[in-house]
């Protein structure tokens, strides 16, 4: 029996809640431990769905995150292959690297939060609170990521600065992929929800200083997870 068949033979049904995260973590562990060696072609989606007792869309979600992490690569007409057992420092989300986002976000989203505290409209503030409530209730990882993306975009728009708003809009896809991966790896949704609400409460209070501090704290937590993922204590200067 091949290594893949041997691994596949151990059925591993998981709970429906956060299913994609559990599938992602199980396959990631099999890769990083060497049980699924570099060069291995992963089983088809249908086989993986049977192994875990979940739907194929959940499998696709987990596989997408594995590819974003750089552990696998999907080859058209051939399948998904393990290409490395460890993510590298040049982890990329489309046109941006993880390092790009880590370095740039504090210079864009922190001041944007400060200006939002001074310039936001009542409609924008109401939407930010709605987004916090929706994220608190949402358990589907991808739907949460979409809400998270809208949250950060709305703050940039609320700053009243078109440059901040455009930069965040242009990087939106990369930011969503980073958010998805961070939450797959570190299950940070609950903590992020708390941090998001602190940001909005500071914006509602009209406190530029508190909004800046709250956004700095939130991005600092994201940075900590990402630098752990890419294997660096600090991004290089």
- For the stretch 185-199, pLDDT in tens is 778 899 999 999 999
Average pLDDT over residues 94-118: 94
Q: 80-102: per-residue pLDDT in tens?
A: 999 988 876 667 887 888 889 99
Residues 186, 183: Cα–Cα separation, whole Å? 5
Other Cβ atoms within 10 Å of 105 Cβ, number: 22
Cβ atoms of 58 and 26 closer than 8 Å = no
| Among 17-31, 49-63, 177-191, the range of highest mean pLDDT | 49-63
Segments making up each domain of the chain, as ranges: 3-82, 92-232
The answer, yes or no, to whether residue 236 has pLDDT greater than 60, is no
Residues 175, 152: Cα–Cα separation, whole Å? 9
Question: Into which CATH architecture does domain 92-232 fall?
Answer: Up-down Bundle (1.20)
Q: What angle do CA 232, 62, 197 make, to 5 degrees?
A: 70
Judge if 3-82 and 92-232 fold alike in CATH terms: no
> Which residues 6+ apart lie within 8 Å of 174 measured at CB?
93, 94, 95, 96, 100, 101
Q: 149-180: per-residue pLDDT in tens?
A: 999 999 999 999 999 999 999 999 999 989 98
Average pLDDT over residues 135-152: 93
The pLDDT of residue 140: 84
What percent of the chain stands above pLDDT 70? 89
CATH class of 3-82: mainly alpha
The answer, yes or no, to whether residue 212 has pLDDT greater than 80, is yes
Residues 213, 232: Cα–Cα separation, whole Å? 24
DSSP letter at 98? H
The answer, yes or no, to whether residue 234 has pLDDT greater than 80, is no
The pTM (predicted TM-score) of the whole model is 0.77
How distant is the alpha carbon of residue 166 from its chain centre?
21
Confidence band (pLDDT; 50, 70, 90) for 228?
confident
List the structure tokens of 39. 């060069």
């Amino acid at each position: 029996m091949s290594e893949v068949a041997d691994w596949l033979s151990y059925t591993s049904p998981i709970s429906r809640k956060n299913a994609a995260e559990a599938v992602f973590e199980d396959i990631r562990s099999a890769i990083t431990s060497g049980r699924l060696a570099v060069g291995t072609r992963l089983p088809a989606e249908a086989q993986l769905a049977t192994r875990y007792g979940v739907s194929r869309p959940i499998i696709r979600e987990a596989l997408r995150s594995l590819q974003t992490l750089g552990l696998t690569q999907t080859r058209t007409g051939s399948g998904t292959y393990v290409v490395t057992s460890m993510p590298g420092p040049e982890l990329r989300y489309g046109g941006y690297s993880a390092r790009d986002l880590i370095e740039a976000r504090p210079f864009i989203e922190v001041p944007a939060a400060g200006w939002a505290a001074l310039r936001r409209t009542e409609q924008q503030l109401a939407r930010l609170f709605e987004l916090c409530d929706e994220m608190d209730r949402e358990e589907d990882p991808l739907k949460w990521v979409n809400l998270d993306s809208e949250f950060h975009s709305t703050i940039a728009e609320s700053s009243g600065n078109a440059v901040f708003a455009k930069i965040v809009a242009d990087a939106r896809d990369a930011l969503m992929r980073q958010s998805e991966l961070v939450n797959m790896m570190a299950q940070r949704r609950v903590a992020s929800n708390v941090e998001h609400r602190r940001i909005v409460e500071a914006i509602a209070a009209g406190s530029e200083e508190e909004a800046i501090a709250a956004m700095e704290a939130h991005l600092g937590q994201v940075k900590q997870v990402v630098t752990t993922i890419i294997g660096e204590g600090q991004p290089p200067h």
